A and B are shown apart, each in its own frame.
Chain A
Amino acid sequence: MNPVTAETPTAEPASPLAHLSPEQLDELARELDEIRDHVVADLGERDRRYIESMIAMQRRLAVIGRVFLLLARHRPAQATGAAALSAAKILENMEIGHNVLHGQWDWMNDPRIHSSTWDWDTASTAEAWKHSHNYVHHTFTNILGKDKDLGYEIMRIDPQQEWHPVYLLQPLYNLLLAAFFEWGVAVHDLDFEAIRKGRKSKAQVKRELAGIREKAKSQVVKDYIAWPLLSGLATAAVDGAIEASRGSRRPGRWGRVARRALAGGRSSFRAAVAANAGANVVRNVWAYAIIFCGHFPDQTYTFTQEEVEDESSGGWYVRQLAGAANIEGSPLFHVASGNLGYQVEHHLFPDLPSTRYAEIAPQVKQVCERYGLPYNSGPFGQQLGMVQRTILRLAFPGGEARPKPGPYRGEDHPAL
């Protein structure tokens, strides 16, 4: 196989699979299928224990967070509670929710941990998400005009997307999207293009809106009314009791108790609202960062619809490989990111349990090396920086594809 040199920045990057014959692509598909079959045959008790303990840990963190926030008026309690709740919300969305909804744990036949019954703590309904993400994004990954996650229909993330003056605002709404990511995703799931073009019936749009409304309502009630109210009551009870126990016989004692309880309760209510909002924003920004690093760093390729006509299953695999980018990090980072730091492996095998991605990564790299294919990867800071640079640059007209690292050549030959 010819060593492929890095493209010059001015040229459109050549298709990463142009050098492979149909027979080679078939062989590649067979090899990747085999990696998958090996994992599937090996799934068992160890995997079940992992997800069960992950779910248990997430719920314990949530309980710890909520309990600390009962006394949210006190700064250390507020900070600890918000931190635990943020961690719980991150795990819930990333390592648990996203992966369960992919059907990664369906093989356990467990009615509680199953893609058909799972619901998650985010604004999109499980149903809408499974369609827009599992089906549309994972099938048509990085195909311009078909993968709706390519810029989420509001951003210009690839130079081949036509420029429009509205994109001048994209550096601004990029920040808003990061902070309120779950809401952006929920609205994105509606698929405005399909609605505009009449591909979605009114009844269906109505039903989906009702689903989002229902989820929004229950989330708002939980994080901004019910739990803060409990915090208020708990703090009022504690503060009132403290006041009652001191200066016992002085006149006006009960008035003081009531005033102190009310003040403490009110301040804990507000502090709990702030902590819950903070936890939601932390989770949103984290999810945004991980997801944007999955497909928008410089190394990833996009594809035109003509390029993928009559695509074989080997071609599909190569598109998944080339269209995704990994993030390098510690084991803790990978858990916190739902193992989406193994975006490449996830895109090749979206329904394998996330914990297995790290185990098969060396085999995938080996396949890439032998077939002269890219294996996109980089440290978190670098990947996120590239994404932000692209968002800023492509807010303005023009722009060129960034240079691609070329085929993977083993650990000793680091990519660009």
Chain B
Amino acid sequence: MNACNYFSMAELGAPPNVPKLRRRTLRAVRSLFTPLLPDDYLELINPLWSTRELRGRIERIDQEALDAVTVLIRPGFEWSGHRPGQYLRIGVVVDGVHHWRAYSLTSEPGRADGCISITPKLVDAGKVSPYLVRGARPGDVVRLGGVEGTFVLPEPLPPKLLFISAGSGITPIMSMLRSLHRDGTLDDAVHIHSARSVEGVIFADLLRRIDESNAGYELHLQLSGEQGRLSPGDLDRLCPDWRDRHTFLSGPAEMLDAMSERWEQDGDSGLLHMERFQPVIGGEPGDGEGGAVRFLGSGVEAHCDSGTPILVGGEEAGATLPFGCRMGICHTCVGRLCKGEVRDLRTGKVHGSEGEMVRTCVNAPEGPIEIAL
């Protein structure tokens, strides 16, 4: 075999909170089932009983807006919790292939029924969102991965808050609002939300209800189809004291860039919290040079243009490659770089030395490379 060993493995869900006694019992009877696990048989009865990875059953799917739904999921084991604003990796089967995506959790932590929710918006060219928005049915089982993300409310809670969201960027903020609303701590918050049209406002009813029942919450809805896009210039009019508020910003990249520039010039960047909910992958063509990729495991040769991730180039050339999130989070797609350099499509940085593990989903070759996959 090549000196450059390869390692690849499809992504597994998060380890569930299995009660100790159950885990010990399963371990005790393991030798009856080798090389399988008792789990392999229990899963035949109920896939949620897997103690190797957390899975969940879809309980309900509610139409949230024109092309967005809220998917309510009951985890197979006790939910270990999340902080409002964090996202969850979720694994679904589409056309026989297991795919992983990250979605913001839209439920508040500690729901009485133990469920969690995500609110995907349809991306026509996507793989996973068409399934979740149109194909999924109550009863379907999904894999639940780790909870991640640093876009969360600080502790202790700052006295004055400002939320700015656009489109499906509202999802992490919804979890924050629900949590504050439940705890009765929505004392002084301004929320500026922008959506293209009335029908496209995700959580429209819920926002209105929160608005009605909390004197300290002030909602400004901007319909960009009629009133134009939200711009940094609107801040002084909609929320004159924006400079004094801890601000939570979530939306498309252009909005984040424009807003954060304003905070840098005119406000206190330390008070601005933001999340790019759409990762920047597939940078501008023209950045970097691309290159030829040789996959040492399969012998496949591919060519990637400057903006094309190694993973995509390889798949187009017919290689079967491990993949997970396709956004640089989960490390399922890593391969050992044996020769050449790569460009990180999120930062534009060129890096790579022999033996380095690189994520093929967010890196493009910079000149010819060899990778042990």
Which A residues fall within an 8 A CB radius of B? 37, 40, 43-49, 56, 59-60, 63, 103, 106-111, 114, 116-117, 119-121, 131, 135, 215, 218-219, 221-222, 226-227, 230, 351
Contact = CB atoms under 8 A, between A and B. Distances in A.
23 contacts: A40-B318, A44-B96, A44-B97, A45-B95, A46-B96, A47-B96, A49-B96, A56-B44, A59-B36, A60-B44, A103-B320, A109-B323, A110-B93, A111-B12, A114-B10, A119-B35, A121-B34, A218-B34, A219-B34, A221-B31, A221-B34, A222-B32, A222-B34
B96 A108 contact: yes
Given A106-B320, A111-B98, 9 more contacts: A59-B44, A106-B322, A110-B10, A111-B11, A116-B8, A116-B10, A131-B1, A135-B1, A215-B35
Contacts of A37: 318
A93 B36 CA distance: 13
Contacts of A116: 7-10
Nearest to A40: B318
A219 B36 CA distance: 11
Interface of B: 1, 7-12, 31-36, 40-41, 44, 53, 93, 95-99, 318, 320, 322-323
Contact of A48 (B7, B44, B96, B322): B96
A230 B32 contact: yes
Contacts of A45: 95-96
Contact of A117 (B9, B32, B33, B318): B9
A114 B44 contact: no
A69 to B, nearest CB: 12
A48 B95 CA distance: 8
Contact of B32 (A44, A109, A227): A227
Nearest to B6: A116
Contact of B31 (A44, A131, A218): A218
Contacts of B10: 106, 108-111, 114, 116-117
B215 to A, nearest CB: 50
Contacts of A131: 1
Nearest to A118: B35
B95 A44 contact: yes
Nearest to A60: B44
B97 A107 contact: yes
B12 A59 contact: no
A121 B323 contact: no
Of all A-B residue pairs in the complex, the 4 with the closest CB atoms, nearest first, are: A48-B96, A119-B35, A111-B10, A218-B34
Nearest to B332: A109
A351 B203 CA distance: 47
For B31, B34, B99, the residue with the greatest tally of chain A CB atoms inside 10 Å of its CB is B34
Contact of A226 (B1, B31, B93): B31
A100 to B, nearest CB: 12
A185 to B, nearest CB: 15
Contacts of B53: 111
Nearest to B100: A109
A320 to B, nearest CB: 16
Contacts of A218: 31, 34-35
Contacts of B44: 56, 59-60
A59 B41 contact: yes
Contacts of A48: 93, 96-97
Contact of A114 (B9, B41, B323): B9
A109 B41 contact: no
A52 to B, nearest CB: 9
A120 B96 contact: no
A396 B97 CA distance: 53
A109 B311 CA distance: 14
For B11, B35, B44, the residue with the greatest tally of chain A CB atoms inside 10 Å of its CB is B35
B207 to A, nearest CB: 37
